[in-house]
Amino acid sequence: MAILALHGGAGGDGPWRGLTDLDPRRLQCLENVLSLIGTKLQSGQLNALDAVTLAVEMMEDEELYNAGRGSVIAADGNVTMDASIMRGCDGAAGSVVNVKRIRHPIRAANLLLHQGWPVMLNSDAADIFAIKNGVEEVEQSWLITDLRKAQWQKWRDSKGRPGSTDEDDSAVLDHDIDLEIQDGMGTVGAVALDSQGRLAAATSTGGMTGKPDGRIGDTAIIGAGTWCDNDVAVSCTGVGEAFIRTCAAHEVSNQLQKLIICGQENPLLNAANNVLELVAPLEGRGGVIAISKQGEVVLPFQTMLMYRGYFNDGEIKTGIGAEEYDFPHPN
């Protein structure tokens, strides 16, 4: 059994309005990653940790997602990126915070995981560590795309603020702004179960448009945006502050244990949904992808959409709104 699941961010309220002009490209990226990395995972060429790292790197390279090149722009006009990764068998983890000069933040987090100590590095120190260890150095001007400049300008014009509530009508998750100008996408994440039964999880993001200098989202925080143990691998997306305050990714594992003991059916789906319900009253909303060691794979979300997909022993499915597409998806 080999399973790889991906998300490309969640956002928006109300019913899904259908494919935007850019969505086929986002779906194609998901399908390429699922097909390439999923097949290698299944054949045993990749273990779970390498699979989630490579999957997230490929998504960091797709500028329509909010990670790596094409990350959203902070209040000060710069891109600053967070990423974290965790391996289930030994709880090894790595995380980088507010990096600005590297192409693949998830590779830097992976290098920290392998180094073993420290688990987290921030800002310049994280960039320097990554570059010294072979992660490609890039300019801010390369990371910032025209699409993101337009989105940032829209945020400035609307005086949006990060973390604002749904009711303010100015929340700044990617999709919330983007849906109107049809160019939205989000944070990326991957979870995997390899043929040896090993689990891993990884998440990478530019954060939220207009975030204040120094803001750290859930994506960088082990237990909030990313968690993996021997039972479950989890990657979250959404309003990060609420996911931090609920230790959301770790809480999926907690809930799963309880539901298994109670003998519930579909325990992982119920665990993930329970966590989304904990997040909601804290002005948070978003989605979760998770795989259990038993091979249950779930991708629930409480927003209008979540870009997502999975490879499950050769079967590939992707989705944006409530429905799912078989691979290849209809254009």
**Residues near ligand ASP, by CB under 6 A:** 9, 173-174, 186-187, 205, 207-208, 217-219, 225, 237-238, 240, 286
The HSE-up count of residue 273 (CA atoms within 13 Å, CB side) is 8
Q: Using CA atoms, how far apart are residues 310 and 47, in angstroms rounded to an integer?
A: 16
Determine the residue with CB nearest ligand ASP. Answer: 240
Using the minimum distance from each CB to ligand ASP, give the nearer residue, 164 or 237: 237
Amino acid at 67: A
CB of 7 to ligand ASP, least distance (A): 9
CB of 220 to ligand ASP, least distance (A): 8
CB of 180 to ligand ASP, least distance (A): 17
| φ and ψ at residue 263, rounded to 5 degrees | 75, 25
Using the minimum distance from each CB to ligand ASP, give the nearer residue, 286 or 319: 286
Tokens at residue 182, please? 């049809």
Q: Is the dihedral of CA 133, 40, 36, 82 positive or negative?
A: negative
Paired strand residues for 97: 122
Using the minimum distance from each CB to ligand ASP, give the nearer residue, 131 or 282: 282
Distances (CA, A) of 81 to 129, 144, 250, 292: 15, 12, 22, 28
Using the minimum distance from each CB to ligand ASP, give the nearer residue, 225 or 267: 225
Using the minimum distance from each CB to ligand ASP, give the nearer residue, 46 or 81: 81
CB of 95 to ligand ASP, least distance (A): 13
CB of 260 to ligand ASP, least distance (A): 27
- Distant-in-sequence, close-in-space partners of 140: CB < 8 Å, separation ≥ 6: 78, 79, 100, 101
Question: Which candidate, 208, 135, 120, 207, places its Cα nearest to that of 170?
Answer: 208
CB of 215 to ligand ASP, least distance (A): 8
CB of 207 to ligand ASP, least distance (A): 4
Q: Between β-strands 120-122 and 93-99, what pairing exists: parallel, antiparallel or unpaired?
A: parallel
Using the minimum distance from each CB to ligand ASP, give the nearer residue, 41 or 305: 305
| Residue 128 burial (10 A CB sphere; 0-12, 13-18, 19+) | middle
Using the minimum distance from each CB to ligand ASP, give the nearer residue, 244 or 291: 244
Q: Using CA atoms, how far apart are residues 62 and 51, in angstroms rounded to an integer?
A: 17
Q: What element of type H or E holds 267? A: helix 267-279
| Contact (Cβ atoms closer than 8 angstroms) between residue 317 and residue 308 | no
Q: What is the largest CA-CA distance in the chain?
A: 53
Residues labelled catalytic: 187
